[in-house]
Structure 1
Amino acid sequence: MNGQSDRPLVIFGVGELAQLACYYFTHDSPRRVAAFTVDRTHFRENQCMGLPVLAFDEVDTRYAPEEYDMFVALGYTRLNRARAEKCVEAKSRGYRLATYVSSRSVTWPDLIVGENCFIMEGNVIQPFVRIGNNVIIWCGSLVSHHVEIDDHCFIAAHAVISGHVKIGAHSFIGVNATLRDKITLAERTLLGAGALVTASTDENTAYLTAPSQEAGVPSHRLQSLL
């Protein structure tokens, strides 16, 4: 697995993911988070979690890319394109992009992880896995052996990705989704919560499952089944 740097860090964003990233980097990595940054059009407060917030167009005047790395903490808006675009912009300003892999996930020494990735706790990632750039894997998922995840993907909690699966760039895998072995998700595939995918997909396709319906029976009538 890629080694972890101890260079101090600036986080792009101030939302929930940015706050989580700050907490995880601080408590489970050698990094020190120095500040947050946002686009000037989204600048509202000059502090977040007790740290300074700077406009992105001036952040390098105080936190130079020669001394600080950056992590872009944006979610899956526009199938991760917003996060991807900001990664490109940060790199054009000279910043190296940080990656976090939780010490509370199970990984093996041959794991390859790209830049600006965020892998949370409780994941099991088996041998022979390659994860590209700018991939977020939420907690509690299984990434089986010989899986390849391309750039700019988001994998929500408790997904099951079977062996020899390939996931195309800009894909989204929802909570509790399951992928059978030896299939390919084409670029920009969207899997909703609980989806079961047993065959390869085409680009720009979505797979959604129907939500559970209200039973029409009062819960106290069913309490004997519990």
Structure 2
Amino acid sequence: MEDILIVGFGGHAKSVADCIEREGKYHIVGYTDMREADSRYSYLGSDDELQAIFDGGVKNAIIGIGYMGKSAVRQHLYATLKKMGFYLPVVTDPSAIVSSTAVVGEGTFIGKCAVINAEANIGKMAIINTKVLIEHECVVDDFSHVAVGAVLCGQVKVGKAAFIGANATVIQCRQIESNGIVPAGATIR
């Protein structure tokens, strides 16, 4: 089992860590953050320690910071980690269903009971949260977040760094612009 580092530790990171453990592919060595959090995982220091952690042999990382107003932070951390040489795997909870014809980009998180259907294309560093349904041929671009219980009907296109709120529904063939926000519970017709 390879080691993995969680970069940034809050509520979203706890969900990510739980899925990493359930998936059983990686061993969590600890986390970095601006300060020590209430966590059962080892605090390895601030992001100033990332290079030393990489040089010490940990080659895998996942960003534990959620989207809410922090897409630019996630993008910056991604660029920093890639420049250092870290590999950012896709983390998928074992309860999720991902079609064999779907494409999922690096560093993406797929939460519990999510469904990603045929020929969907999920970009890098996306968050596909608990019980999300992404139907056939949808495109979710890089750094976007589809929140808990949201539904994207067939052939929906979600732009880069967009946010689809909890329990929102986007009906088929609609497009959400880059950096767009669909409020929780909304229906986009």
Same fold (TM over 0.5): yes
Question: Comparing 99-108 with 70-79, which one deviates more in the overlay?
Answer: 70-79
Provide the C-alpha distance between the structure 1 equivalents of 2:53 and 2:78, rounded to a whole number of angstroms: 19
> Which runs of 5 or more structure 2 residues have no equivalent in the other structure?
none
Residues matched between the structures, number = 189
Query: What one-letter code is carried by the residue in structure 2 that aligns with 1:19?
Result: K
CA, structure 1 residues 64+26, in 2 after alignment: closer, same or farther (shift >3 Å)?
farther
* 1:92 corresponds to: 83
Identity of aligned residues (%): 23
Aligned pairs (5 A) from 1:1-226: 6-38=1-33, 42-44=34-36, 48-64=39-55, 67-78=58-69, 80-198=71-189
- Is the partner of 2:69 in helix, strand or coil? helix
Query: What one-letter code is carried by the residue in structure 2 that aligns with 1:24?
Result: C
- Is the partner of 1:78 in helix, strand or coil? coil
Contact 1:79–1:172 (CA<8 Å) still a contact in 2? Answer: no
Q: Tell me the CA shift for residue 20 of structure 1.
A: 2.2
Contact 1:29–1:100 (CA<8 Å) still a contact in 2? Answer: no
CA, structure 1 residues 79+163, in 2 after alignment: closer, same or farther (shift >3 Å)?
farther
Instruction: Name which one, 1 or 2, has greater alpha-carbon Rg.
Output: 1
Provide the C-alpha distance between the structure 1 equivalents of 2:32 and 2:110, rounded to a whole number of angstroms: 22
Provide the C-alpha distance between the structure 1 equivalents of 2:56 and 2:108, rounded to a whole number of angstroms: 19
Q: Tell me the CA shift for residue 68 of structure 1.
A: 2.1
Q: Tell me the CA shift for residue 52 of structure 1.
A: 3.4
CA, structure 1 residues 10+193, in 2 after alignment: closer, same or farther (shift >3 Å)?
same
Contact 1:171–1:187 (CA<8 Å) still a contact in 2? Answer: yes
Contact 2:30–2:41 (CA<8 Å) still a contact in 1? Answer: no
CA RMSD of aligned residues (A): 1.8
Q: Taking structure 1 as the reference length, what is the TM-score of the superposition?
A: 0.77
Question: Comparing 75-84 with 148-157, which one deviates more in the overlay?
Answer: 75-84
- Is the partner of 1:48 in helix, strand or coil? coil
Structure 1 segments of 4+ aligned residues over 6 angstroms from their partners: none
* 1:224 corresponds to: none
Contact 2:54–2:86 (CA<8 Å) still a contact in 1? Answer: no
Q: Taking structure 2 as the reference length, what is the TM-score of the superposition?
A: 0.92
Provide the C-alpha distance between the structure 2 equivalents of 1:133 and 1:123, rounded to a whole number of angstroms: 17
Contact 2:95–2:113 (CA<8 Å) still a contact in 1? Answer: yes
